[in-house]
């Protein structure tokens, strides 16, 4: 077994088991060290730094938006382990299909922070990812990326490649038809895909309890005939381990897996949202004690691998770096309307080209 010879995740933590897979508790203590994936201390430290970078870049984006320098932004605070853990478990040839709240995964998989900031700045070039980086563009329409993920996975299977696709969706997205259709299709055709639901407890202002009567979101895998797991989404160890095993199952031809990352959105849904109108501050405070950075830092401190001083300095360094990156974005000027036409299709279709030419004529004063 990838986790431990005495532990079978599907058997012991399956969707109907009523159990949540966890390795590290809220205080950073590991009670079953044999379940910790076989990474070195240095590798775990690097993953923690990736989470700190995500937090610093996220905080800076929120500040910039509040200053009127960035458009609407979707914060990630509190969900870093659910993003960095799975991204680290992937191989370089695997595909990532995100929704719109996967900052840690984007950064870890090689999307430059400048590109991400360009996107939230309203610049179409923010969807132009580097060559060779197997990450699909940000998808704001809820659930539509799930079909794309299954299509990419099936293409890999048909071509005889060993690629696995990892797809993200939020808890609210599990109420869409696209979600159920994608799971069903993936199950029928045994697509090499891993679905990760970031259950942050709220679909904008709608709490998880009003989304479904199912006890867990992982149970939605049962109808599709695929394995489902509930994993502590704030536990970096557990998220890495569960995703790694699901990916290897898919790579060996065992088909898809659904992972419910049980986490919490500490901030607003987006900067256009006011969460104080639909949830209590006491609830937020309770979840702050489960913060994925807090518990991973506690683990590293106990092992003598880190210090509070180095932690504060690193956060400040990353914040400064993020601000410098955004200044580069601002230096490029306001987004250009014509870019809306240029970066949607590989070759501009006739109807869109006609509209583009009319726009050019308008700029030249040839039409009103």
Q: What is the pLDDT of residues 259-283, one digit of tens each?
A: 999 999 999 999 999 999 999 999 9
Residues 147 and 50 in one domain: yes
Asked if residue 116 lies in contact with residue 126, where contact means CB atoms within 8 angstroms, the answer is yes
Residue 2 counted as domain residue: no
User: Quick check: pTM over 0.85?
Assistant: yes
* pLDDT bucket at 2, cuts 50 / 70 / 90: low
Q: What is the pLDDT of residues 189-231, one digit of tens each?
A: 999 999 999 999 999 999 999 989 999 999 999 999 999 999 9
List b or e across 134-163, with b for residues whose CB sees 16 or more CB atoms inside 10 angstroms: bbbbbbeebbbbbbbbbbbbbebbeeeeeb
To the nearest 10 degrees (0 to 180), the angle between helices 308-331 and 113-121 is 50
Residue 3 counted as domain residue: no
Residue 197 counted as domain residue: yes
Does the active-site annotation cover 269?
yes
Residues 354 and 235 in one domain: no
Residues 248 and 361 in one domain: no
Can you tell me the distance from the alpha carbon of 186 to that of 195, in angstroms, rounded to the nearest whole number?
10
Close Cβ partners of 243 (under 8 Å, ≥ 6 residues apart): 85, 86, 89, 90, 166, 194, 196, 259
Q: Print the domain residue range for 355.
A: 337-368
Does the active-site annotation cover 128?
no
Catalytic residue among 6, 19, 278, 327: 278
Residues 249 and 357 in one domain: no
| DSSP for 56-102, written as a single string | HHHHHHHHHHHTTSS------TT-HHHHHHHHHHS-TT-EEE--S--
DSSP run (H or E) holding 232: strand 228-232
Residues 224 and 241 in one domain: yes
Residue 69: exposure state from Cβ atoms within 10 A (0-12, 13-18, ≥19)? middle
Catalytic residue among 269, 295, 299, 318: 269
Residues 192 and 341 in one domain: no
Specify the number of domains making up the chain.
Answer: 2
Can you tell me the distance from the alpha carbon of 14 to that of 218, in angstroms, rounded to the nearest whole number?
8
List b or e across 189-214, with b for residues whose CB sees 16 or more CB atoms inside 10 angstroms: bbbbbbbbbbbbbbbeeeebeebeee
More confident residue, 49 or 5: 49
Catalytic residue among 101, 134, 249, 265: 265
Residues 42 and 176 in one domain: yes
| Per-residue tokens: 8 | 């079978």
CATH code at 274?
3.40.50.970
Residue 73 counted as domain residue: yes
Residues 153 and 272 in one domain: yes
Residues 350 and 326 in one domain: no
Residue 4 counted as domain residue: no
Residues 232 and 356 in one domain: no
Residues 262 and 355 in one domain: no
Residues 214 and 325 in one domain: yes
Residue 191 counted as domain residue: yes
Residue 251 counted as domain residue: yes
Can you tell me the distance from the alpha carbon of 115 to that of 366, in angstroms, rounded to the nearest whole number?
35
Does the active-site annotation cover 265?
yes
């Amino acid at each position: 077994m990838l986790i431990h010879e005495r532990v079978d995740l599907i058997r012991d933590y399956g969707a109907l088991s009523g159990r949540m897979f966890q390795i590290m508790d809220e205080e950073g203590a590991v009670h079953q060290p044999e379940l910790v994936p076989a990474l070195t201390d240095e590798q775990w430290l690097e993953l923690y730094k990736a989470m700190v970078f995500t937090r610093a870049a996220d905080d800076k984006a929120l500040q910039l938006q509040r200053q009127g320098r960035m458009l609407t932004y979707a914060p990630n605070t509190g969900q870093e382990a659910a993003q960095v853990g799975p991204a680290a478990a992937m191989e370089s040839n695997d595909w990532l299909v995100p929704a719109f709240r996967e900052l840690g995964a984007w950064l870890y998989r090689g999307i430059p922070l400048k590109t991400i900031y360009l996107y939230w700045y309203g610049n179409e070039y923010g969807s132009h990812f580097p060559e060779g980086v197997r990450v699909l563009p940000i998808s704001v329409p809820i659930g539509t990326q799930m079909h794309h993920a299954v299509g990419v996975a099936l293409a890999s299977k048909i071509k005889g490649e060993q690629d696995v696709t990892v797809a993200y969706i939020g808890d609210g997205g599990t109420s869409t038809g696209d979600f159920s259709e994608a799971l069903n299709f993936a199950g029928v055709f045994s697509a090499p895909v891993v679905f990760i639901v970031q259950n942050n407890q709220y679909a904008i202002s709608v709490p998880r309890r009003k989304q479904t009567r199912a006890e867990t979101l992982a149970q939605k895998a049962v109808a599709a005939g695929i394995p489902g797991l509930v994993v502590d989404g704030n536990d970096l160890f557990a998220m890495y381990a569960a995703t790694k095993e699901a990916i290897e199952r898919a790579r060996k031809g065992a088909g898809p897996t659904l992972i419910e990352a049980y986490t919490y959105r500490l901030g607003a849904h987006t900067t256009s949202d006011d969460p104080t109108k639909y949830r209590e501050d006491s609830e937020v405070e309770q979840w702050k004690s489960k913060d994925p950075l807090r518990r991973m830092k506690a683990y590293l401190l106990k092992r003598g691998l880190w210090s509070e001083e180095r932690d504060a300095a690193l956060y400040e360094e990353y914040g400064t770096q993020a601000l410098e990156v955004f200044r580069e974005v601002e230096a490029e000027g306001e987004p250009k309307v014509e870019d809306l036409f240029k970066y949607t299709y590989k070759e501009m279709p006739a109807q869109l080209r006609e509209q583009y030419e009319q726009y050019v004529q308008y700029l030249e004063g040839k039409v009103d």
